[in-house]
Chains A and B, each alone.
Chain A
């Protein structure tokens, strides 16, 4: 069975701090995708990134970066110089045709 664990329920930081959201996954599949989504209070899931299981290169997009390590089954997400607008619930997900989501990490960025 597939499983995604986001052990951090809630993280509070002050603006401009760096923050890392952890994601650990379990799967027996050899082909899968890993995802990160942002869910603001409005409820819509905002797609941030999708990584193929065969591509372990880390990725950077502006203030966002992702560290994919197959050896530890982790796909961590770092926000550099956090801003108040980053406050949201962040979900990590795993799958191919259907997704298994973690329980989410609520990030609170205060001014």
Chain B
């Protein structure tokens, strides 16, 4: 049973460009959360997707957007990249029953390391 998978593992982009990161949740999970981890810091919550809609959002600008597909996989898009967007981007998956989230953040992917130059 595959866990949470993210692609690509590494990415180098130029300032001002746009980037798309992808995440496939663990089998049986329907909720995907994205986190940004800058060097030397703890992960920070970007947003969470459930039923193809953004359910919660952290304190990130609108340049950060996402999408969830019918198969529960998700994309994180970042527009107009800044040098400060260089970070490890982590995806976590969980399962929602009604309003109850199960397996909350027990499963993280290996992350995508984004470098903006």
Contact = CB atoms under 8 A, between A and B. Distances in A.
- A and B form one complex: yes
Is the contact region of chain B dominated by helix, strand, or loop, or is it mixed?
strand
A99 interface: yes
Interface residues of B, number: 24
A97 B42 contact: no
Contacts, number: 59
Contacts of B74: none
B65 interface: no
A97 B108 contact: no
A28 interface: no
B48 A98 contact: yes
A31 to B, nearest CB: 10
Is the contact region of chain A dominated by helix, strand, or loop, or is it mixed?
strand
A50 to B, nearest CB: 6
Interface of A: 4, 33, 35, 37, 42-45, 47, 50, 91, 93, 95-104
Interface of B: 33, 35, 40-45, 48, 55-56, 58, 88, 90, 101, 104-111, 113
